[in-house]
């Protein structure tokens, strides 16, 4: 009789322990931490958070992956600071921060926020976002104290913003992995550039531009395919707090991601339930013309032609020009500013880069032409806003860089180029 209470306790302990295993938690609090080998699973079983070793590496990283595709790691906490053994622990520290500790209890990674949190809780959401909040009932996005979506790795998930928090100056952008075995920051970044008034999507290698979209014109980014939009939709937010964009899935069951891979390619992938693999739906840059400024200044890059580089109307090859490696083009004759120059419409292109430009969002196209015409250094102009028939005035001064022809389903734009009246008739 005396042993009964003990076995009762023991049995119920086993019972509750197995319940815990069956229903993996989606959150941690200061009382609960995650050891290497344990994981959090989001409530609808979409994402899992825990420790992993990528590829052939033995290093341990804290990351988030798809439950149904564990090799697809969508976020890494300590990407540049691996743990060398399996003694890592994720917990919430006394000051309410998420901290990743090594076996020597030194901090390997931290959410590093500086607010006082009374009842901190960190939850893995079904969107793949890992969020820290004060008190479970304050679980809406404006109350997140920290979120993994603000610190992207190499993957943009639906609902995850890239771009700028204009209040704090925080820029969210993708950074490629170094290799399949090493998630540390690679050479490539994918950024939402707002340096020149209108956003462009740019792939950089270090500080060098490798490829760019045309500027956002209120409807699309020039040269970016519209085909993925059958599955997901691009959402742009511009207000005084932020300038950013994200993808929203039309068809919720579709599991998709956009990844900047180790070779600097942006890949859109969709999960195929039948094959249990990712299908590649699109990747960029897709051809030679996508390489930034491939043909040099004042050219049009046209993959359907050989050679692919051609001078803009009114320009001739400069002295170092050769057909396989263009060094760009210069004006063939000086423009006759006394009325011999006109504008010619170049259609179906990606607009030149915004290097020396001026923008007036309230001008009409007609006013824009008059303004450009009246200024000798204005080389081209176009509407900045394609919504509702077009408005706004975007003018270029100096050389025109990185113009290419674009297939019709890829968001084409038009530009009005200053030429001599006698040279009208350019086409690519």
What is the contact surface with ligand NAG in residues (CB under 6 A)?
110, 112, 118-119, 135, 137, 139, 218, 261-263, 265, 267, 280, 283, 322, 324-325, 358, 360-363, 367, 375, 377, 385, 387-388, 391-392, 397
SS3 for 152-218, per residue?
CCCEECCCCCEEEECCCCCEECEEEEEECCEEEEEEEEEEEECCCCCCEEEEEECCEEEEECCCECC
The least CB distance from residue 320 to ligand NAG, in Å, is 8
The least CB distance from residue 112 to ligand NAG, in Å, is 4
Nearer residue to ligand NAG within complex by CB, 103 or 360: 360
Nearer residue to ligand NAG within complex by CB, 2 or 142: 142
Identify the burial level of 24 via C-beta atoms within 10 angstroms of its C-beta, where 0-12 means exposed, 13-18 middle and 19 or more buried: middle
The least CB distance from residue 95 to ligand NAG, in Å, is 12
Nearer residue to ligand NAG within complex by CB, 397 or 424: 397
| 304: three-class secondary structure by DSSP | coil
Nearer residue to ligand NAG within complex by CB, 93 or 391: 391
The least CB distance from residue 392 to ligand NAG, in Å, is 6
Nearer residue to ligand NAG within complex by CB, 127 or 332: 127
Identify the burial level of 275 via C-beta atoms within 10 angstroms of its C-beta, where 0-12 means exposed, 13-18 middle and 19 or more buried: exposed
Residues 6+ apart with CB under 8 A from 229: none
DSSP string covering 322-355:
-SSS---EEESS---TTTTEEEEEEEEEEPPP-S
The least CB distance from residue 3 to ligand NAG, in Å, is 40
CA distances from 351 to 191, 253, 375, 399 (A): 18, 35, 20, 13
CA distance 218 to 234: 11
CA distance 220 to 350: 11
The least CB distance from residue 141 to ligand NAG, in Å, is 11
Nearer residue to ligand NAG within complex by CB, 2 or 167: 167
The least CB distance from residue 242 to ligand NAG, in Å, is 15
Nearest to 158 by CA among 271, 51, 76: 271
Q: Give the residue carrying structure tokens 């917990």.
A: 91
Nearer residue to ligand NAG within complex by CB, 93 or 139: 139
């Amino acid at each position: 009789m005396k042993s009964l209470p003990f076995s009762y306790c023991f049995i119920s302990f086993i019972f509750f322990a197995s319940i815990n295993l069956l229903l993996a938690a989606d959150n941690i609090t200061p009382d609960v931490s995650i050891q290497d080998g344990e994981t959090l699973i989001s409530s609808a079983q979409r994402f899992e958070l825990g420790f992993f070793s990528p590829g052939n590496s033995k290093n341990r990283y804290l990351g988030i992956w798809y439950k149904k595709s564990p090799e697809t790691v969508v976020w890494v906490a300590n990407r540049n600071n691996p743990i060398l053994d399996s003694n890592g622990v994720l917990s919430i520290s006394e000051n309410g921060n998420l901290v990743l500790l090594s076996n020597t209890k030194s901090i390997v990674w931290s959410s590093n926020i500086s607010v006082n949190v009374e009842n901190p809780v960190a939850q893995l959401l079904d969107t793949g976002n890992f969020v820290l909040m004060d008190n479970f009932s304050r679980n809406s996005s404006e109350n997140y104290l920290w979120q993994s979506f603000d610190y992207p790795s190499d993957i943009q998930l639906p609902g995850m913003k890239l771009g700028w928090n204009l209040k704090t100056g925080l820029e969210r952008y993708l950074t490629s992995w170094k290799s399949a075995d090493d998630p540390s920051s690679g050479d490539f970044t994918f950024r939402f550039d707002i340096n020149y008034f209108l956003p462009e999507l740019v792939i950089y290698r270090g500080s060098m531009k490798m490829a760019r979209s045309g500027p956002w014109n209120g409807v699309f980014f020039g040269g970016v395919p519209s085909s993925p939009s059958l599955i997901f939709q691009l959402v742009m937010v511009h207000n005084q707090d932020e300038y950013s964009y994200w993808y929203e899935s039309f068809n919720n069951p579709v599991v998709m991601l956009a990844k900047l891979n180790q070779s600097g390619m942006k890949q859109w992938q969709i999960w195929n339930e039948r094959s249990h693999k990712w299908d590649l739906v699109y990747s960029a840059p897709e051809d030679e013309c996508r390489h930034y400024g491939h043909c040099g200044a004042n050219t049009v890059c046209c993959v359907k032609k050989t050679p692919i580089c051609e001078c803009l109307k009114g320009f001739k090859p400069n002295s170092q020009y050769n057909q396989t490696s263009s060094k760009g083009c210069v004006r063939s004759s000086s423009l006759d500013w006394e009325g011999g120059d006109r504008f010619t419409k170049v259609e179906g292109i990606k607009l030149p880069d915004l290097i020396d430009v001026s923008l007036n969002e309230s001008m009409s196209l007609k006013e824009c032409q008059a303004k450009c015409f009246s200024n000798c250094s204005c080389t081209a102009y176009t509407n900045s806003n394609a919504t509702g028939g077009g408005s706004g005035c975007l003018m270029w001064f100096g050389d025109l860089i990185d113009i290419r022809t674009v297939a019709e389903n890829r968001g084409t734009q038009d530009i009005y180029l200053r030429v001599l009246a006698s040279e009208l008739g350019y086409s690519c």
